[in-house]
Structure 1
Amino acid sequence: MLPFRRAIVFAVFFITAFILIRRAHTPSAPNPIRRPPPRPSTPNRDGDNALHNAPPTSDLEHADVGDHREKPAPGQKADLDLSKLSLYDKLAYQYPYDIETKFPAYIWQTWRSTPEDDEFDFRDEEGSWTYYHPGFVHEVITDQVAVHLLRLLYAPIPEILEAYDALPEPVLKADFFRYLILLARGGIYSDIDTYALKSASDWLPDTVPQKSIGLVIGIEADPDRPDWKDWYSRRIQFCQWTIQAKPGHPVLRDIVSRITAETLKRKKEGTFITKEKSIVEFTGPAIWTDTIFDYLNDSRYFNMKRSAGKITYQNFTGMTKPKKVGDVVVLPITSFSPGVQQMGAKDYDDPMAFVKHDFEGTWKPESERHIGEVQ
């Protein structure tokens, strides 16, 4: 039997080789990948028609926010000194965003063991993603492999690795990893306790061109009640247990930059999780939601002078169909949270139900799991 350290090295080598081979020889799949060489980011060439003054359709609603315009990435010069760039621009240089590429055919999940291990407890959940996505590269990444994979992807940006290593809790690392892997490689991230109910190729109407979308997210909570603050961190909360993205998307750059800066600050101070900065706020759905709203109202990417107003929770509360805002598609609560029997979510057999989440809360102590249950 191989020593543990050598086994880890071999695992990283084979995963890297497998991904590179699949990228070079992608089989037929619902969303085949062919990632072009890095180049400066490009604006949304679909122009204004997808973003303002567009009549709603039966399949997709539109929000009026002006035209989307991607900030060009730093020049692609071989002698560029990354140390002189901000972290955000380093990420833009390392992983530029090209909206015209297809969504990569990757599925990323994380757990302490892989499906090949006897103690793996999520075979049905993991198998549902493979069943509905034949031809996709589907990886369940363990903690040990994640470390080596991130060192491979983010070697030119050491502060990212320093921040990841400094996070004191597995749940913080798991949150950070999902953003990091999607930023670098794109595709779909979904928690290990989720079931795929439909293929990702069915998540959006056929009338929506992939070249106009770079990020697909779902609503986790829409608590239309006076005491919503007692139960949720935000009035509209976007879930991060399932995310689909193209590599380099600005939302991913931003949240990686925020978490890195906050982590290194707290490392220096010697403080991490406090009552004021919970896990939800630090790396979870609260900061994820804030980052998305900040992006949708960012004049670097949208012509806010032509906007009908600031994008807020009011643009998404009570929605029952997908809504496109710039290059982001927001799915209704039923899509990633069917069967919760509240906040307007419909059942698992609804046409808009795409992912079933078991809410295992696997990162919590046993007494605090199953957050959907009434105690």
Structure 2
Amino acid sequence: TWLFSPKVEFGEILDTTCEKEVSEWVPLEYRNENIDMIVGLEFDFEWRGPGTEVASQFCNWVFVGRKNSRNLQVIVDTVINQLKDIARANAVGIEGITWEMLPDVVNVTGPKIMTIAIMQSLEQLLGRPVDDRDYAHITRPKLVGDVLIMPGVSFAALQNKNPTDQGDPLVTHHYEGLWKKEQVQAKERKKQKEEQERQQQGSSSSSSSSPSPASA
């Protein structure tokens, strides 16, 4: 059983169009393999060397995972841990997190954290380091451990400048980014609140430093 997971809100696909039947995504050579998850490259860059952050990253507006996916569980656990840290820093429960508390939505739930989680999951499975060198600049699907990695054209053709040597686009992402508006509004509210607090502190300081009127 597979879980097809595009960006969804209130049961509707927001900004992703499927261009080819999902049943056709997996090449014949891999159809009998143990595939736990299918992901596609959003950013496709060279490995930057030991100790550097991951350069190539998997998009998370669409992916496919088996029911009870091992890799997907690692991703969820990683995001939950991030949210717990944010909640702890703001002295609230996870349910109390607001937009203003998030440094950036992408940093908490975006492609980078998803990619790092998958690489850590694959390292546990394969017993070796996994990095950009395993999948950067692929021109056709590649199975790494139990994750089938699709080339940039598959899920993020526009982001990868519409390459012509990687097969056909499987999905078109329309970049609606409905969450961005809420994030911008939240940052503006936070900025206004901080400005008000600075003004109040300034007023308090001025009042406390003013000389008291002389007694009659």
Tell me which amino acid in the other structure corresponds to 1:295.
Answer: S
Q: 1:364 to 1:332 in 2, by over 3 A?
A: same
- Alpha-carbon shift at residue 321 of structure 1 (Å): 0.7
- Taking the TM superposition and a 5 Å limit, the aligned residue runs for 1:41-60 are none
- Alpha-carbon shift at residue 214 of structure 1 (Å): 1.1
Helix, strand or coil at the partner of 2:64:
strand
- Alpha-carbon shift at residue 339 of structure 1 (Å): 3.5
- Taking the TM superposition and a 5 Å limit, the aligned residue runs for 1:1-375 are 102-103=1-2, 109-111=7-9, 139-140=11-12, 192-210=14-32, 212-223=34-45, 234-270=54-90, 272-274=101-103, 278-298=104-124, 301-302=125-126, 304=127, 310-340=129-159, 342=161, 345-346=162-163, 351-365=167-181
> In structure 1, what is the Cα distance between the partners aligned to 2:83 and 2:8?
21
> In structure 2, what is the Cα distance between the partners aligned to 1:286 and 1:340?
15
Tell me which amino acid in the other structure corresponds to 2:171.
Answer: V
Q: Which has the higher strand share?
A: 2
- Alpha-carbon shift at residue 219 of structure 1 (Å): 0.2
- Residues 103, 210 of structure 1: 8 Å contact kept: no
- Residues 43, 152 of structure 2: 8 Å contact kept: yes
Helix, strand or coil at the partner of 2:40:
strand
Gaps of 5+ in 1: 1-101, 113-138, 141-190, 227-232, 369-375
Q: 1:225 to 1:269 in 2, by over 3 A?
A: closer
- TM-score of the superposed pair, with normalisation by structure 2: 0.68
Equivalence for 1:148 = none
- Residues 193, 358 of structure 1: 8 Å contact kept: yes
- Bigger-Rg structure (1/2): 2
- Alpha-carbon shift at residue 350 of structure 1 (Å): 6.8
Q: Which has the higher helix share?
A: 2
> In structure 1, what is the Cα distance between the partners aligned to 2:158 and 2:163?
6
Helix, strand or coil at the partner of 2:87:
helix
> In structure 2, what is the Cα distance between the partners aligned to 1:340 and 1:259?
24
Gaps of 5+ in 2: 92-100, 185-216
> In structure 1, what is the Cα distance between the partners aligned to 2:154 and 2:167?
9
> In structure 2, what is the Cα distance between the partners aligned to 1:107 and 1:285?
14
Higher relative contact order (CA 8 A, sep 6+): 2
Question: What percentage of aligned pairs have identical amino acids?
Answer: 25
1:182-210: CA deviations, max 9, x gaps?
xxxxxxxxx52111110011111122235
Helix, strand or coil at the partner of 1:245:
strand
Q: 1:314 to 1:207 in 2, by over 3 A?
A: closer
- TM-score of the superposed pair, with normalisation by structure 1: 0.41
